[in-house]
Amino acid sequence: MAFVLWAVATVTFFAIRLIPGDPAEAILGGPGSQASAAALAQARADYGLDQPLFVQYLHYLGRMLRGDLGTSYALKQPVLAVVGENLGGTLLLAVVSLIVAAAIALALAAWSAQGGRVASGVSWLLEVIAAAVPHFWLAISLILLFSTTLGWLPPVSVPGPIGLVLPILTLALPLSGFLAQVMRESILDAIASPFVLAARTRGEGSGGVFWRHALRHAAIPAIGLAGWAFGSLISGAVVVETIFARPGLGRSLLTAVQQRDVPLVLGVVLVVALGYMLVTTLTDLADRLVDPRLRAS
Amino acid sequence: MKRLLAWIGVTALIFLLIAALAPGLLAPADPLAINPTQSFRAPSFDHLFGTDESGRDIYTRVIHGTGASLLIGVSATAIGIGLALVFGLLAGLGPRWLDFGTTRFLEVLFAFPGLLLALLFIVVYGPGVITSTIAVGLATAPGYARIIRSRVLVVRRAPYLEAAAVLGRGWWFRLWRHLLPNVAGSLFVLVTLGIGQSIVWASSLSYLGLGAVPPAAEWGAMLSAGRTYLASFWWMTFFPGLFIMISAVASTLVGRGLQERNRDS
């Protein structure tokens, strides 16, 4: 994990060096700003850009180890402070969406495993949404339906739980389609397997078989998708936070990309990469909890 | 049922191909012709999908935008698969240290999930159609590479390759005549599924103002232009979005159909 983090930091550091143009100029407001030579030299000295590349790289790694991600060009604030300010909103959005998506997927998987045709239809529809509907398009459709036509919910994310409903639906619906698809297949496999027959002959009811036996098998591949789901939620958050005008990490990332605010982009990317690695590490642990076969080996 | 869905996908794909190659057949009008007296008209018989802020016919623009949008999807997928093929073959065929190195490198790329790799690329090379297409290709490559690598690892141990080696066939012959064709079978499915995904991603980037820019008749650019008028003139964003969805659904249905057929045979 430390290796991947180091590699991510190195890749991003050198990727940034590929940017055409003078970074000192970018700090002073881009090529249009016509900064004086003295101001450029001052900016170079301030940001350590006058030193050899290798020295800059070592400084960069050293600062990273101390948790210093540099200063945003556009906001003139420490990147870590900007990230910290916005992290909470995005985490709340992502975690609640994940829970909602898992709940929908679980209900659908349970329902269609019991042979409900309606449930299969609904989960098929969600699968198509998951595979083919862009987040922004789903968000627009939900706004048109629930705000413009019905007037039930606000079209922008106002503070409080009511403003979270549409952003969460936008993120959770496609995710639940993927999860339901994976879970349904493994539940059907589990129900057809000999240990379920054995449980049945011991007198276990269909509810007990589902909750005690089949569900574990459904959880394993779904947990395996966690890292991917994290990425999908973060990508979705960029779009969703922009459309619903909700402050968060995704929207700051987009603004930073538009303004070519390199330190802020790097900071957000590194934090997301760290989050991704935490999720995959936790996934391995969760796998062992759910699947006793992994503990034995 | 599964067959029917696959055929619906094929039909939609043929329709989109006609729209891409001969847009004049389906929409004879000029997609860039402005008519300020007819701006913001709701969908009607004269303007099936309504008109935009300059009175341009949205149906005509959507049909004429098919070519550009599909081209972006296809190029991004080609870039992604091309890169993935290089990595997948290096890892699957090379010596063990090369496999180790490539796999670690892919792991690092996986730590930039989803749009992040694309956004990183755009911040380096600036927004635009070409950079956003390359960005989408780059962002999808690690996923493809992993699939191709595992496929190569299966195929290289296949008995027919051993037989070819025993018969004294050269390395290149085995690669071109045996290994690549067998890897290509699963590639075809990846490509059809991938084109829909690439169109969705590229249009998301255009929607965010990082890809194609108005007034080009490209779906993502049309969406981006319509975003401002979302509350009052929904048709400006609805119909381009509908076509993005149709192409993504079509590519998914055809891809799934091919997957099923591969599994059966």
CATH number for the domain spanning B181: value is 1.10.3720.10
For residue B215, say if its preceding peptide bond is cis, omega within 30 degrees of 0.
yes
Let me know: does B3 contact B256? Beta carbons within 8 Å: no
pTM of structure: 0.80
> Percent of chain B having pLDDT more than 70?
97
* Structure-block tokens of residue A242: 């922009």
* Structure-block tokens of residue A31: 């090529």
pLDDT for the residue numbered B79: 93
* Residue B114 one-letter amino acid: G
Tokens 């993502």 sit on residue:
B220
Q: ipTM score here?
A: 0.75
The answer, yes or no, to whether residue A175 has pLDDT greater than 80, is yes
d(CA A200, nearest CA chain B) in Å: 32
At residue A155, the 3 state secondary structure works out as: coil
B residues 12-31 lying closer than 8 A (beta carbon) to A: none
> B210 and A19: CB-CB below 8 Å?
no
Among A78, A54, A55, A53, residue whose Cα is nearest residue A67: A78
CA B162 from chain centre, in angstroms, equals 36
Q: pLDDT tens digit string along A75-85? A: 778 888 888 88
Give the residue numbers spanning the domain of B56.
2-264
Residues whose CB is less than 8 angstroms from the CB of residue B238 and which lie 6 or more positions away in sequence, other chains included: A140, A141, A144
pLDDT for the residue numbered B76: 92
pLDDT for the residue numbered A158: 67
Residues whose CB is less than 8 angstroms from the CB of residue A34 and which lie 6 or more positions away in sequence, other chains included: none
Q: Which residues of A touch B126 (CB under 8 A)?
A: 260
Q: pLDDT tens digit string along A90-144? A: 888 888 998 898 888 888 777 776 666 777 777 777 777 777 778 888 888 888 8
Q: How confident is the model at residue A1 (pLDDT cuts 50, 70, 90)?
A: low
The answer, yes or no, to whether residue A209 has pLDDT greater than 80, is no
Residue A31 burial (10 A CB sphere; 0-12, 13-18, 19+) = exposed
CA–CA gap between residue B132 and residue B151 (Å, rounded)? 29
The answer, yes or no, to whether residue A31 has pLDDT greater than 60, is no
B residues 65-104 lying closer than 8 A (beta carbon) to A: 104
CA–CA gap between residue A43 and residue A284 (Å, rounded)? 45
Q: How confident is the model at residue B77 (pLDDT cuts 50, 70, 90)?
A: very high
Average pLDDT, chain A: 77
Q: Which residues of B touch A253 (CB under 8 A)?
A: 116, 119
Among B2, B13, B1, B20, residue whose Cα is nearest residue B193: B13
Q: pLDDT tens digit string along B179-210? A: 888 887 778 878 888 888 888 888 888 888 88
> B238 and A140: CB-CB below 8 Å?
yes
d(CA A25, nearest CA chain B) in Å: 15
CA–CA gap between residue A113 and residue A217 (Å, rounded)? 13
- Across the range B143-165, mean pLDDT stands at 83
**What is the total count of domains within chain B?**
1
Q: pLDDT tens digit string along B27-59? A: 777 777 777 777 777 777 777 787 777 778 888
CA–CA gap between residue B246 and residue B203 (Å, rounded)? 13
pLDDT for the residue numbered A145: 83
Q: How confident is the model at residue A297 (pLDDT cuts 50, 70, 90)?
A: low
CA–CA gap between residue A108 and residue A223 (Å, rounded)? 17
